[in-house]
Amino acid sequence: MAGRLWGVGLGPGDPELVTVKAARLVADADVVAYHCARHGRSIARSVAAPYLRDGQIEEALVYPVTTEATDHPGGYRGAIEEFYTGCAERLAAHLDAGRDVVVLCEGDPFFYGSYQHMHKRLAHRYETEVVPGVTSMSAASAALGRPLVERDEVLTVLPGTLPADVLAERLSGTDSAAILKLGRTFPAVREALDQSGRLGEAWYVERASTGRERVAPLSEVDPTSVPYFSIAVLPSRVAAMPVVDPEAVAERDRGEVVVVGLGPAGRDWLTPEAQAVLAESDELVGYGPYLDRVPPNPRQKRHLSDNRVEAERAAFALDLARSGSRVAVVSSGDPGVFAMASAVLEVAAEPRFAGVPVRVVPGLTAAQAVASRAGAPLGHDYCVLSLSDRLKPWDTIVDRLTAAARADLVIAIYNPASRTRTWQVEKARDLLLEHRSPDTPVVIGRDVGGAEESVRVVRLSDLDPSTIDMRCLLIVGSSKTRLASGGAVFTPRRYP
């Protein structure tokens, strides 16, 4: 079988800017080919040198002429075309023998690259792939620390070999430009920039990304010192004239409180909006275990507190925002479901915090997470109740639980038990059994999304309060909720 031809872009000169793929192909190649002048030195080979290995065949494709005159009957073009044809046949001999050939090319092979002459002569005969590389334009822009284009600007790429009047016309009609192939063309390029009125904007970058890199205003460059591997750049005009919007700056610098839902557990349950808010915040406020779920960032201050001081935590966060900080108050699940959103808004309504903006960013709820693990128990009408009597009397909980049971709603029960609340689950179960069948499915989700996740389904009459703790959430089915043969729990969408 014939070998494979690869045109490999090596980037602008720094061996560390060679792509991983290009480095691998260079190391694996049977034959490594590269163009060079008659002095034998090849920039492409020097860039690839760290990736070459012993025993590889090297084909130096030595140009017969570069800029000097030639006595070839076809002139310079005839000599070069004959050279390319001969090089292609040399590489074809290796390919016919089953050897893979990598042709090295500075920059990108299809961006004024020498490889393309081999591609035109060989790609239709052999399996061929081109590996792109970082262009000299990109390297020059990076060296300048200035973008080439922004927003709707137009970039024009020009060879310095064009006549000065043509270059001037093109330069006067574009926003940004990159002019390659300088060297002996530099005086004409400088003249074209002057004619177009763009000389004062132009920058000169020589041997970008290498240890010999040089950057200077083009108007100050000595034409006799310009090598072929240099580039003239007209960078983005927009970038040169930054517009500062005072209102935007004031808005950015104004403090605010964002109450963020982290979801039930882990990064996979975090929404992109919540992730963005956390990243932009100056200070994070919340219950310790919830804050521990946010990766530390030394730029941010973290303020941990106990889970029973919601009002104090809200006031603390609002004080921080009043002084100009962007504050994220974190909650597990959704902050608006038995969490910090209402606490923050309640305190923010006090006159002392007038004008402090508060936003709420939702999160995936624990009820949704547990339901998804079990199937679709929340497929029809349902309600959400908390069994905690810390902030409301137990009689109110009984009234609401009874109403929900009589209405035949699926019930998602938060905060069923804790270290100090050990009897509510039993009372709730017995109350529900007055209105529900003993066979009613109950989903018990614990630490869903976390390392200790467990999801069980039991009959309502078999619900054992001793197995329920503060990390559990219960979903009690309605009279229509079913346990399928495969174990999934669902509530039909149709209600007779």
Instruction: Return the axis-axis angle of helices 164-172 and 186-195, rounded to nearest 10°.
Output: 40
Q: Is residue 429 part of a domain?
A: yes
Q: Is there a single domain that holds both residue 24 and residue 112?
A: yes
**Which pLDDT value is given to residue 38?**
83
Instruction: Provide the β-strand partners of residue 31.
Output: 57, 101
Q: What is the pLDDT of residue 390?
A: 83
Q: What is the pLDDT at residue 243?
A: 56
**pLDDT at site 247:** 63
pLDDT tens digit sequence for 268-313: 889 999 999 999 999 999 998 899 999 999 999 999 987 778 899 9
* 495 domain-assigned: no
Ranges of the chain with pLDDT below 70: 67-68, 239-253
pLDDT number for residue 16: 96
Per-residue pLDDT, 39:
81
Alpha-carbon distance values, 307 to 286, 289, 339 (Å): 8, 9, 10
How many folded domains does the chain comprise?
4
Is 333 in a helix, a strand, or coil?
strand
Q: Is residue 281 part of a domain?
A: yes
Give yes or no: residues 350 and 305 share one domain.
yes
- What's the pLDDT score for residue 249? 52
Please answer whether residues 160 and 188 qualify as being in contact, where contact means their C-beta atoms are separated by less than 8 angstroms.
Answer: yes
From 29, 35, 39, 40, select the one nearest 6 (Cα to Cα). 29
Range of the domain at 159: 137-240
Q: 391 with 486, same domain?
A: yes
> pTM for this structure?
0.64
At residue 251, the pLDDT reads 55
pLDDT tens for 11-68 read 999 999 999 999 999 999 999 999 998 887 899 999 999 999 999 999 999 998 776 6
**Alpha helices (runs of H) in 384-452, residue ranges in sequence order:** 394-406, 424-433
- Asked, for residue 38, whether it belongs to a domain, the answer is yes
Boundary of a domain, candidates 303, 326, 361:
361
Helices (H) and strands (E) in the chain, counts: 16, 23
